[in-house]
Amino acid sequence: MVLNNIKIGMRLGIGFGIIFLITLVILLVTTLSLKTARDNISVVKYESLPYAHLADEMAFQTLKVLELLLYASTTHKPEGFKEAEKIVESFRLNIGKFKKLYEEKGDKRGTAAIKELEAAFEQYYEQGKEIAFIYFTEGLEEGNKLVAGFDNSAKILTAKMKKLQEDEVGKTKESVYNIIMSLNRVRTVMFSMNGLAMVLSVMIALYITRSVTIPVRHILAGFRSMAEGDITVRIEVGRNDEMGELARGFNSFSDSLADIIRQIAEDMKKLDAASSEMFDMSARITLSAEKVNSQTNTAATASEQVSGSVGMVASAVKQTSTSLFGIASMTDQMSSAFTNVAEFGKKTADNVSAMARSGENISVRIREVADAVTEMTVSLNTVAKSTVQANMISRDASRRTEQINIRMNVLVSSSRKIGKIVDMIKKIADQTNMLALNAAIEAAGAGVAGRGFAVVANEVKVLAGQSAEATEEIAGQIEEIQTATRDVVQAVEEINRIIHEIAAINEMIADSVKGQTDLGGEISESVMDTATAVKTVAENANESAKLVGEIANLTDETSKSASGIARHIDELLKNAQEIARSSEKAARGVNDISLNIQEISEISEQTAIGASQSDASSKALAEMASGLTRIVSRFKL
């Protein structure tokens, strides 16, 4: 599997990088959505509501202009015309504000509509001022002639003004709707992305943990089997990461150890055979020494009867020479066998030393794994710091939502003020309706002369009724805005709650990372225990090497003893030859023969002592070989 070839550090980097990217995406989407909501709130606060209020004010100004013109015409006071002119100037300023807004936004249709409204108002104002002036100067009959045209202008102005109010209220509703949708998107994205982040975090943590703990358990099981003597166990290698390298190192160590143990077993067989052969040789040397001693005793007896037994002595000396020649040959074979045993011992010591070095190498590998686990623990601590930073960012987002809530409360307060203004407009419309009713009554009392004035009063009454209906409709729309604003406030509170939940989730992730850190510590401890076990195996191998070295030294000493025996036998052979020559010259002197026999007796005693020492050395060598064989038998090959 490709993932098994990725190093542990790279896995940690990829896993935590994915979590970091998801967190970054969440923060980016949240920030953009909150910015959109903030922009929409700014539009509502600084554009939609103020211009909706401005449209209502302009509708009120149209009614106020009509009221002042009626007042001036009925009371014949010119001050009404001056007041009406002031309100008209204010209306024109408001028209200018709308023009500027639409031109800045590049709204050509809005600009055309506001120009049409301006033209309708100017026509309405000019006709109303003209009718009022004719009423004021020429009387009702002349003024009534212009009422039909004024009525048409009033209807056109009312329709356009109502259209402007509806457009501004619609824009306010649209902005509030955009705010609600932005906040809903924030909530949806935060829920989904946080859920995805939690699932991926758990999956990544499980994958990284299992990719480390499962191979470590397999390797620990292999070391336990090896500690019990089973060196046939092998670990399956299917990956190229640190765990794969450790498994390959374990298998290589097992192969090397098995080869060394097999070589030691073969050397022990050879050593056992050599020790048995040496034991047999020492027995034959002892027997030969006893024969020599017996023959020297016979020679001593014969020396007393030298006059009659010279021939017998010569014959015995020849037999002694033959025996000594055989003994010399056997001692040479024994020395050669001891040399071979010493070489086997040195080779065995070298093999055991190689096994100890392999154990030290595998211990170094295990410590590298412990370092990798320590690096994983450091990375987990880094993730914990990242979650703390994410928690701080969540708190900052919570503070921003609180600021949005405060702005929405200001928006609610503004809508309430607009409601009060609408109530005031409604009251003015009611008063206008009462004035129109009074004017109609006065016109009815005036008879035929007041008939035209009654028509105007009726029109004023109709306009007042339309204004009342418009204010009621505006009041309903403002109530809808207030309801939508309350929904926005609730949505902001819901987002604030979600942000707190995100903070709690971040804390939970931090706790999970702490748990993974603790688990990494336990893995590190297990790996260190394994390193200790491998170190113990290496120490045991070193002890085995020392033991084999002692065997080699002891074998070397035995070889030296055998060489000494060979030298003594050579001397004995020379002396026997000398005896033979002396026996041929027996007539020359019996004293020389006695001295030679004494020397032969001493050499025979030294040969017997050397044979005893060789026998003891061969027994010690056999015991060491048996002990080493028992050690090797503990391993399963």
Give the span between the Cα atoms of 17 and 23, in whole angstroms.
10
For position 574, which CATH number holds? Answer: 1.20.1420
What are the φ and ψ backbone dihedral angles of 239, each rounded to 5 degrees?
Answer: -150, 160
* Distance in angstroms (rounded) separating the CA atoms of residues 159 and 151: 12
**Considering the domain boundaries, does residue 292 fall inside one?**
yes
- pLDDT mean across residues, the chain: 70
Q: In this structure, is residue 280 part of a structural domain?
A: yes
pLDDT in tens, 95-111: 999 999 889 989 899 89
Answer whether residue 77 is part of any domain.
Answer: no
Residue 622 lies in a domain: yes
Residue 167 CA to its chain's centroid (Å): 54
The predicted pLDDT at position 31 comes to 86
For residues 366 and 245, the answer to whether their CB atoms sit within 8 Å is no
Number of domains present in the structure of the chain: 1
Going by C-alpha positions, the residue among 236, 221, 79 that lies closest to residue 533 is 221
Q: Classify residue 354: in a domain, yes or no.
A: yes
pLDDT at 376: 53
Dihedral angle of Cα 343, 349, 352, 357, to the nearest 10 degrees: -120
Exposed / middle / buried, residue 84 (Cβ in 10 Å: 0-12, 13-18, 19+):
buried
pLDDT in tens, 480-514: 766 766 775 676 677 667 667 656 765 765 576 56
Task: Give buried/exposed letters for 36-48 (b at 16+ CB in 10 A, else e).
Answer: bbbebbebbbebb
- Entry pTM: 0.47
Mean pLDDT of 176-182: 85
Sole residue written with tokens 């510590």:
521
Structure tokens at 149: 């045209």
In-domain check, residue 333: yes
What confidence tier does 334 reach under pLDDT thresholds 50, 70, 90?
very low
Q: Is 298 exposed, middle or buried (0-12, 13-18, 19+ CB in 10 A)?
A: middle
Confirm whether 214 is domain-assigned: no
Q: What is the mean pLDDT of residues 316-334?
A: 52
Can you tell me the distance from the alpha carbon of 11 to that of 206, in angstroms, rounded to the nearest whole number? 12
User: Do the Cβ atoms of 124 and 62 come closer than 8 Å?
Assistant: yes
Distance, in Å, from the CA atom of 589 to the CA atom of 581, rounded to the nearest integer, reads 12
So what's the pLDDT on residue 569?
A: 47
| 180 Cβ contact partners less than 8 Å away, ≥ 6 residues apart | 484, 487, 488, 491
Q: How far apart are CA 79 and CA 60, in angstroms?
A: 20
Say how many residues make up the chain: 637
Predicted local distance difference test score (pLDDT) of residue 341: 46
Domain range for 591 is: 264-359+552-633
CB-neighbour burial class of residue 411 (10 A; exposed 0-12, middle 13-18, buried 19+): buried
- Give residue 86's pLDDT: 93
The tokens for 472 are 């009621």
Residue 439 falls inside a structural domain: no
